[in-house]
Amino acid sequence: MIVMKFGGTSVEDAKAIKNLTEIVRKELPRRPIVIVSACSGITNQLLLAATLASQGKKEEALNTVAAIEARHKRIAKELFEGDILRFLNKHLTSVGEELTALVNGVIVLGELTHRSLDTFAAYGERISSLIIHHYFEQQRLKSFWVDARSFMITDDQYTKAVPQFEVTERKLREIVQPKVNNGYVVISQGFIGSTPSGVTTSIGRGGSDYSAAIIGALLDAEDIQIWTDVDGILSSDPTVVKDARKIKVMSFNEAAELAYFGARVLHPETILPAVKKNIPVRVLNSKNPGSSGTLIVSKPKTDKRCIVKSIAYKEGITLVSIVSTRMFLATGFLENIFDVFHKYQTVVHTVATSEVSVTATIDNTKHLAQIVRELKAFATVTVTDRKAIVCIVGDNLRNSPGLAVRMLAPISDVNINMISQGASEINLSFVIDEDSVDDVVLRLHAELFANAGNFPEIFE
Ligand code: ADP
Ligand code: ASP
Ligand code: MG
């Protein structure tokens, strides 16, 4: 059995759905479970409708709902005719009515909870998967549609709910496995789940990759395929670096580090379940299915050489510099600092320390004011926003003499606020002004990948 996950652009219109169907057909002998995202842009529109409603902008909210309904009806019209088209139109009309009722509810209440946001957002995947299921059937694929909320059981941290693996595995084995065994292509949704008591949740933006990985790992898939709109994981974000190279093979660690530091192509949590079961993950291009994509495995067969694989970046970073108000490093200084971040559930991405000072980077500034207030009890604190982390990833980077020089030489005129290397063997990262990110990434890429052609087994 394999899991095939198709992202937003891979299900964006009738043409994409036809294309996806042929990709799935080729894999029928491997018994695919197909996990889909909402059509591209739809999750944003659903959340926009909810937000407009919470601001009392009824007409704009309802126009957004109408646009969502119309987009799906257009897709259905291109794919179907007769009874099935009538059925889907009726269904989409009632989805429009349900969303209208939700909009009105939010307007009356004048508040929008995270729980409501998840209810809105879940419609995207629910609709796209249903359309695709009917298209599979029309194309004579033996298809079985499952509502992911029946098996993906999560806690109730709405908008970023945490899947509960034990019960999810039990449900998957009860509901999904028998259908796969009976030769059905199971089609279901990424991103959404439900609490044990049945309230709709979502596992965070971009979470469909994670859904696919969980399903694959819990059901011991042979392969987890992430179908997207680029040829695989590239040496940098192709929207910035037009000539980014495709990476053929990389390690789980490298992929996790890249995802964590901003490479949107893979949700950061995707790798974990796959690592635990040692299931290879493949990133593939639905617009170019002939390409071999990127293979992510625990230990790539490539050697122990240190080769920079990719450059990622993360914008919207805030630097918090904390200097002890005592002259000497008081015991417990670091502990006190991290206790404060922990208390406010704020993740620290990178840290640099000297004897009496610590610089930490964060991107969640929701509790920044409280954090600073508490830190000021024992330190002076300076906060600088609009920063970015640039992160260079490659196995064995720590053992690479001269890399720091190679990395910094092409950007010697750039003011670097902080550098961090060594914590992980595979990541070297530094913090700069957000405004210079594109320029820095381009210059670094030109320098670090000038010789990529010498490694045909790694880059394409
Ligand atoms: P999907 O909807 O299929 O999940 P995403 O938009 O989430 O797709 O992720 C794919 C996008 O990630 C690509 O179109 C690309 O612009 C972006 N991206 C950023 N960094 C990288 C990278 N290093 N390699 C490949 N794609 C990247
Ligand atoms: N549709 C969701 C989003 O846009 C989940 C996903 O596509 O991975 O965030
Ligand atoms: Mg994605």
Residue closest to 80 by CA, chosen among 68, 97, 92, 67: 92
C-beta of 311 in contact with ligand 1 (< 6 A): no
Question: HSE on the CB side for 90, CA within 13 Å?
Answer: 6
Q: How far apart are alpha carbons 269 and 257 in whole angstroms? A: 10
C-beta of 7 in contact with ligand 1 (< 6 A): yes
pLDDT of residue 329: 55
Which tokens belong to 459? 């880059």
Report residues near ion ligand 3: CB below 5 Å.
Answer: 7, 206
* Most ligand 2 atoms within 8 A of CB, residue of 5, 12, 48, 208 to mutate: 208
Q: What is the pTM of this model?
A: 0.93
Q: How far apart are alpha carbons 235 and 229 in whole angstroms? A: 15
In one-letter notation, the amino acid at residue 152 is M
Domain ranges of the chain: 2-229, 307-454
- Cβ 24 vs Cβ 136: under 8 Å: yes
Nearest ligand by distance to the CA of 265: 1
C-alpha 241 – ligand 2 centre gap (Å): 24
pLDDT of residue 225: 98
DSSP code per residue over 137-186: HHTT--EEE--GGGT-BB-S-TTSPPB-HHHHHHHIIIIIHHHHHTT-EE
C-beta of 43 in contact with ligand 1 (< 6 A): no
User: Dihedral through CA 448, CA 449, CA 453, CA 457, nearest 10?
Assistant: 90
* Most ligand 2 atoms within 8 A of CB, residue of 12, 36, 43, 269 to mutate: 43
pLDDT of residue 335: 87
Which residue is closest in CA terms to ligand 2's atom 8?
Answer: 206
Residue closest to 93 by CA, chosen among 76, 116, 80: 76
Q: How far apart are alpha carbons 200 and 255 in whole angstroms? A: 30
Reading the chain (460 residues) residue by residue, the pLDDT tens digits are 999 999 999 999 999 999 999 999 999 999 999 999 999 999 999 999 999 999 999 999 999 999 999 999 999 999 999 999 999 999 999 999 999 999 999 999 999 999 999 999 999 999 999 999 999 999 999 999 999 999 999 999 999 999 999 999 999 999 999 999 999 999 999 999 999 999 999 999 999 999 999 999 999 999 999 999 999 999 999 999 999 999 999 999 899 989 988 888 999 899 899 999 999 999 999 999 999 999 999 877 655 666 789 999 999 999 999 998 875 556 788 888 999 999 999 999 888 887 788 999 999 999 999 999 999 998 999 999 999 999 999 887 777 777 778 788 888 899 998 888 765 678 888 999 999 999 999 999 998 888 888 888 889 9
Which tokens belong to 309? 């694989």
Check the CA dihedral 217-218-223-224 and report its sign: negative
Cα-based distances in Å from 288 to 5, 16, 209, 240: 15, 11, 19, 21
Report the atom number in ligand 1 closest to the C-alpha of 310: 23
**Fold: same for 2-229 and 307-454:** no
Q: Classify burial at 384, counting beta carbons within 10 Å of its beta carbon; exposed 0-12, middle 13-18, buried 19 or more.
A: middle
pLDDT of residue 454: 83
Q: Residues with Cβ < 8 Å from 161, sequence gap 6 or more?
A: 118, 154, 155, 193, 195, 201, 202, 203, 204
DSSP code per residue over 4-66: EEE-GGGGSSHHHHHHHHHHHHHTGGG-EEEEE-PSTTHHHHHHHHHHHHHTT-HHHHHHHHH
Nearest ligand by distance to the CA of 36: 2
C-alpha 41 – ligand 2 centre gap (Å): 9
CATH number of this structure's domain 307-454, picked from the four choices 3.40.50.1000, 2.40.160.100, 3.30.2130.10, 3.30.70.20: 3.30.2130.10
The SS3 of residue 355 is coil
pLDDT of residue 302: 59
C-alpha 263 – ligand 3 centre gap (Å): 10
C-alpha 337 – ligand 3 centre gap (Å): 34
- Cβ 296 vs Cβ 252: under 8 Å: yes
Which residue is closest in CA terms to ligand 2's atom 5?
Answer: 206
pLDDT of residue 328: 55
Q: How far apart are alpha carbons 347 and 208 in whole angstroms? A: 22
pLDDT of residue 397: 75
C-beta of 363 in contact with ligand 1 (< 6 A): no
DSSP code per residue over 204-267: -TTTHHHHHHHHHHHTT-SEEEEEESSSSSBSB-TTT-TTPPBBSEEEHHHHHHHHHTT-TTS-
Residue closest to 354 by CA, chosen among 385, 387, 324, 382: 324
Report the atom number in ligand 1 closest to the C-alpha of 232: 25
pLDDT of residue 102: 98
C-alpha 67 – ligand 1 centre gap (Å): 25
Q: How many CB atoms lie within 10 A of CB 418?
A: 18
User: CATH number of the domain at 2-229, please?
Assistant: 3.40.1160.10
C-alpha 129 – ligand 2 centre gap (Å): 13
pLDDT of residue 423: 56
Instruction: List the alpha helices (DSSP H) in 318-454.
Output: 333-343, 368-375, 403-408, 437-448
Nearest ligand by distance to the CA of 121: 2
